[in-house]
């Protein structure tokens, strides 16, 4: 699992080995501090597997944007498995199966910005935003992939670890996600003035069904 290419893919010719844990650093382009992103250890391997299936090679990495250096360093100091287990037993971290209630999740949001550079040097900036990423949006994406499989929309002829990015038609999947409440858009350039840290507009955070859950939770509470 420590191999960044354990699911497939490989380093681009002439590029240095890819590192999943992004070092703490200041990004003048994004006007924020960059820190290691917990899910990058998994996400990067999935992206590299997709690239391998498509016969492509390109360097890929992920980082977390935070407002200051102190916060970035805290994210870089991940406790060991033994320490995390002790925190779970002390009730300071949730146990498996536990998590935030529906109302807390409706207040959560995420913003994922992609910066790609073509071989000719052209810069492309994309943004994906939505509600709670750890529970709601992950379940949404899995459900949309399951529906696509049931309708026979997957790609035939490949076995083993086949990623959604390879298995499904990208345009159809983007439409599915958009109808469900996720917001994809192309940016004219890099987010300016620290806007990458600002909460997206209301309809870019949660769909109608999420708002309904929030309303019901408010009444019930």
Please report, for the chain, the start and end positions of each structural domain, with discontinuous segments joined by +: 12-78, 109-216
d(CA 171, CA 167): 12
- Cβ atoms of 161 and 45 within 8 Å: the answer is no
Kindly give, in sequence order, each residue whose CB lies less than 8 Å from that of residue 112, ignoring residues fewer than 6 positions away.
127, 128, 129
Would you give the distance in Å from CA 46 to the centre of its chain?
A: 11
- pLDDT mean over 166-178: 92
DSSP characters over 148-209: HHHTT-SPPS--SS--HHHHS-HHHHHHHHHHHT-EEEEESSSPPTTGGGSPPPGGGT--HH
- Is the pLDDT confidence value at 210 over 70? no
Please write the tens of the pLDDT for every residue from 46-65: 998 888 888 888 888 999 99
How far, in Å, CA of 184 to CA of 187, rounded? Answer: 10
Instruction: Give the H/E segment covering residue 9.
Output: none
Please, what is the average pLDDT of the chain?
82
pLDDT tens per residue, range 97-149:
887 888 888 888 999 999 999 989 999 999 999 999 988 999 999 999 999 98
Measured over the CA atoms of residue 212, residue 214, residue 216 and residue 219, the dihedral's sign is negative
């Amino acid at each position: 699992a420590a191999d960044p290419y354990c699911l497939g893919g490989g380093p681009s010719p002439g590029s240095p080995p890819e590192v999943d844990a992004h070092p703490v650093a200041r990004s003048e382009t994004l006007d924020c501090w960059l820190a290691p992103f917990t899910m990058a250890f998994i996400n990067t391997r999935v992206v590299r597997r997709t690239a391998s299936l498509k016969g492509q090679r390109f360097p890929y990495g992920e980082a977390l944007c935070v407002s200051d250096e102190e916060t970035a360093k805290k994210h870089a100091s991940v406790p060991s498995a033994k320490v995390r287990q002790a925190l779970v037993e002390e009730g300071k971290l949730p146990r498996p199966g536990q998590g935030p209630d529906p109302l807390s999740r409706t207040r959560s949001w995420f913003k994922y910005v992609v910066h790609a550079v073509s071989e000719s040097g052209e810069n492309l900036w994309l943004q994906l935003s939505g509600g709670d990423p750890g529970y709601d949006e992950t379940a949404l994406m899995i459900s949309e992939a399951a529906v696509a499989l049931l309708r026979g929309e997957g790609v035939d002829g490949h076995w083993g670890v086949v990623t959604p990015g390879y298995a499904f038609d990208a345009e159809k999947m983007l439409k599915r996600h958009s109808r469900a409440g996720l917001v994809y858009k192309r940016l004219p350039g890099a987010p300016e003035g620290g806007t990458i840290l600002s909460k997206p507009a209301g309809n870019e955070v949660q769909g109608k069904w999420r708002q309904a859950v929030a309303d019901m939770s408010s009444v019930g509470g």
